[in-house]
Amino acid sequence: MAKALAREMRLPPLPTVRDLLRLYKIRAAKKLSQNFLLDPRIIERIVKVSGNLNGAHVCEVGPGPGGITRALLSAGVEKILVIEKDARFLPTLEMLREAAGGRIHIIMGDVLSYNMENAFPKDMKKAWEEETPAIHLIGNLPFSVSTPLIIRWMKSVSAQNSAWTYGRVPMTLTFQKEVAERICAPVSSPQRCRLSVMCQYLCDVKHKFNIQGGSFIPAPKVDVGVVHLTPRKSPIISLPFSLIEKVVRCTFHMRQKECHHSFATLIPPALHQTLIPKIFAIAEVDPTTRPFQLTLEEFDRLCHAYNLLVEKVPEIGTYEYRAPRKERISGEDLKPQLEKLFFL
Ligand code: SAM
């Protein structure tokens, strides 16, 4: 049955992607950091590590000349929504759409501002706790887009909006190899950073494989890592994304120093001496731990302790150590209130 379905989905003969680029005189645009993948074995590997896509709905970001799109169709994908910023690819994508019997829906635009709330059939929705829906997001994007995009998407995973109104939609994306390593870095590894925590508290992450820069046309100076992310049934930290982002960003501010130093950037200076030991005691975290050694569970407890403080004294939540000096509160006038609250 699956074989018969795959046969049905085979595309009629088409010019190769390489020929199409020549035919339409498309050269990679530096401005859009375009690096095309033309090697079918690598393309098939990206599609394969995405999981079983037979009958699935897929959103492909940055299809360019359509190498990955073709492989997705051959893998039996039911419908592909492609989002492409560069209008030069419209004719090649339209040709592919016709050959695929309308299984491709083309959106010319910027993926960074595209809301996927209505992108897939409503009856594909699954409850968050159920298994993942037959929907997948995939893309070989420029490095300058994939990093802001993953943060945006993590925010949407946290809010369960955009594509994640359909349930725990998985993603397969390419990044600069070093960024892929950072996203997947375990506790205490040299690459552990803000991105590792922000992705891993929400998703199960896997660095699937690397692609040598030389496999792209034109070749970027760096290698590329393919990362697969599946949203967790229960995020490790269940607080608003913006609060977690602030705590994690500030805590990694001085990566190699004991974490109480960088955590202090969340607190007005006049309150450091009394509040910082109190917060670490409430969170049951050793303040001498370095930020890259903190586990997700320790970040969870630190975020909750900070949240407790901000709920009781909202002025502290407005403190931004990077704001101009005259806009920063010293915290001196908050001391009596805090003394009463925490018996300081
Ligand atoms: N997927 C193709 C491949 O693997 O050969 C092209 C990859 S190329 C690295 C990145 C593609 O993303 C280009 O086609 C580029 O025009 C497109 N792109 C860049 N920024 C984008 C954005 N903000 N939204 C949608 N597409 C974008």
Q: Are strands 171-176 and 57-61 parallel, antiparallel or unpaired?
A: unpaired
CA distances, 6 to each of 2, 50, 58 (Å):
6, 17, 16
- State the distance from the centre of ligand 1 to the C-alpha of 149, rounded, in angstroms: 12
Residue 125 CA to residue 326 CA, distance in Å, equals 49
Query: How far apart, in Å, are the Cα atoms of 341 and each of 105, 149, 179, 309?
Result: 57, 40, 42, 9
Mutate to test the pocket of ligand 1, among 38, 145, 150, 221 (most ligand atoms within 8 A of CB): 145
**Residue of minimum CA distance from atom 10 in ligand 1:** 141
CATH class given for the domain over 241-339: mainly alpha
- Is residue 110 marked as binding? yes
Is the beta carbon of 111 within 6 A of some atom in ligand 1?
yes
Question: 142 alpha carbon to ligand 1 midpoint, in Å?
Answer: 6
pLDDT higher at 255 or 304 = 304
Which residue has a Cα nearest atom 5 of ligand 1?
36
Phi, psi of 193 (to 5 degrees): -155, -170
Residues 221-233, mean pLDDT to the nearest whole number: 96
Q: How far apart are the CA of 215 and the centre of ligand 1, in A?
A: 16
On the question of pLDDT at 337 being above 50, the answer is yes
Residue 129 assigned to a binding site: no
Where helices occur in the chain by DSSP H, the ranges are 2-8, 17-23, 40-49, 67-74, 90-99, 143-159, 177-184, 194-200, 241-251, 259-263, 272-283, 296-312, 314-317, 335-342
Q: Could you tell me if 78 and 55 are in contact, meaning their C-beta atoms sit under 8 angstroms apart?
A: yes
pLDDT at 75 (0 to 100): 95
Give CA–CA dist 68/77, Å, rounded. Answer: 12
CA distance 99 to 13: 9
Is residue 302 within 8 A of residue 279, CB to CB? The reply is yes
Nearest-CA neighbor of 21 among 69, 71, 65? 65
* CATH architecture of structural domain 2-231: 3-Layer(aba) Sandwich (3.40)
The per-residue pLDDT for 6 is 46
> Quick one: pLDDT at residue 112?
95
pLDDT of residue 119: 97
Q: What integer is the mean pLDDT of 59-73?
A: 96
Residues whose CB is less than 8 angstroms from the CB of residue 328 and which lie 6 or more positions away in sequence, other chains included: 268, 319, 320, 321
- The three-class DSSP label of residue 210 is strand
66 lines ligand 1 (CB under 6 A): no
Q: Is 84 in the pocket of ligand 1 (CB under 6 A)?
A: yes
- Amino acid 255: pLDDT: 84
Angle 241-251/296-312 helices, nearest 10 degrees? 110
Pocket flag, ligand 1, residue 36 (CB < 6 Å) = yes
**pLDDT surpassing 70 at residue 245:** yes
Ligand 1 centre to CA of 199 (Å) is 22
Nearest Cα to 248, choosing from 314, 298, 316?
298
- Write down the pLDDT at residue 192: 97
Which of 32, 46, 89, 114 to probe ligand 1 with, by most ligand atoms within 8 A of CB? Answer: 32
How does pLDDT run across 70-104, given as a tens digit for each residue?
999 999 999 999 999 999 999 999 999 999 998 99
Atom nearest to 35 CA in ligand 1: 9
Return the ligand 1 atom nearest residue 69 CA: 1
- Most ligand 1 atoms within 8 A of CB, residue of 30, 138, 141 to mutate: 141
Quick one: average pLDDT of 297-321? 94
Measure the CA–CA gap between 156 and 33, rounded to whole angstroms. Answer: 25
ipTM of the complex: 0.99
Residue 79 backbone phi and psi in degrees, to 5? -150, 135
* Total Cβ atoms within 10 A of residue 78: 17
- Residues 272-300 have pLDDT tens digits of 998 999 999 999 999 999 999 999 999 99
Report residue 2's pLDDT band, with 50, 70 and 90 as the boundaries. Answer: very low
Cα–Cα distance for residue pair 207/226, rounded to 1 Å: 6
- Residue 148's pLDDT is 94
Q: Measured from the CB, is residue 156 less than 6 Å from ligand 1?
A: no
> Which pLDDT tens digit goes with each residue over 14-61?
888 888 888 778 887 777 778 999 999 999 999 999 999 999 999 999
pLDDT at 14: 81
Atom of ligand 1 nearest to the CA of 139: 1
39 assigned ligand-binding residue: no
Domain boundary assignment for the chain: 2-231, 241-339
32 C-beta closer than 6 A to ligand 1 = yes
pLDDT tier for residue 323 given thresholds of 50, 70 and 90: confident
What percent of the chain is modeled with pLDDT above 70? 97
Percentage above 90 pLDDT, the chain:
77
| pLDDT tens, residue by residue, 126-146 | 999 999 999 999 999 988 899
**Arithmetic mean of pLDDT over the chain:** 92
Which ligand 1 atom is the nearest neighbour of the CA of 83?
A: 25
Does residue 231 surpass a pLDDT of 70?
yes
What does pTM read for this prediction? 0.93
- 33 Cα nearest atom in ligand 1: 9
Type and span of the H or E element at 174: strand 171-176
Angle, helix 241-251 to helix 143-159, in steps of 10 degrees = 130
Average pLDDT over residues 190-216: 97
pLDDT at 5 over 70: no
Cα–ligand 1 centroid distance for 326 (angstroms): 43
pLDDT given for residue 292 in this prediction: 97
User: Do the annotations mark residue 62 as ligand-binding?
Assistant: yes
